[in-house]
Structure 1
């Protein structure tokens, strides 16, 4: 967030990680992310599910990094390793990129849109590209202005 101050490149953001941390925490809890709290300044903590056991080559990389005094941390992925919010934990079938049948890996379709549709407060519009999130008088999101990709018409 402070690239210009740190290395002279880019711009400093007007906010820091601490401003966004509560939102990251909400997402971690909602979608389910596995990982560790590694206590590194560039790898902030969060709410994580247990990571899977490391594979042989990962243990070898970790061992080599430790001998060189280089921080080596496990990846954090939005794959649930145990039951979470009504979804089954991953059973390591290796089909993540082909569509997870157990909904253990994150996709907005299964993890966010399907539950939102059940609330009755979401209208799903196809063949549309969002242009603007509209706000109500209290400054809260109240709708979306979008372009109909078939006709080019702007709609709300």
Structure 2
């Protein structure tokens, strides 16, 4: 704590890059992380707001803790975003048929049967359920066709991103 002639250093540690306040008729501008020498009474008032202002000694530690927390949150969000992208790729109904990318998500049972025949897939359109799957036969057939075509030709969505 630097005290000189009734003054004290205060550091803004809040979220904004710059904090502007008015105290005792005087306007103050606090860049985040920089110490500002203030009248001791004003400094003590500001230091009561522990999450926003601190002494230079505490400020460095608090800013580094906050920066580490923000970095951890960003890393977690990035990880979640990547997991969601991977899941979207896995659940994509875009498949390659005759060299073209087609979306089979809304095709009727007859079209799915045509795809099974044209691609030579070993799937029974009337009994396509896999163990543990409780969806209707058309949805189950769609899933099996998607998986078989992704195995056979690759997932066209994953090839776009590479």
> Structure 1-normalised TM-score?
0.20
Say which structure is richer in strand. 2
> Structure 2-normalised TM-score?
0.19
Say which one has the larger Rg: 2
Say which structure is richer in helix. 2
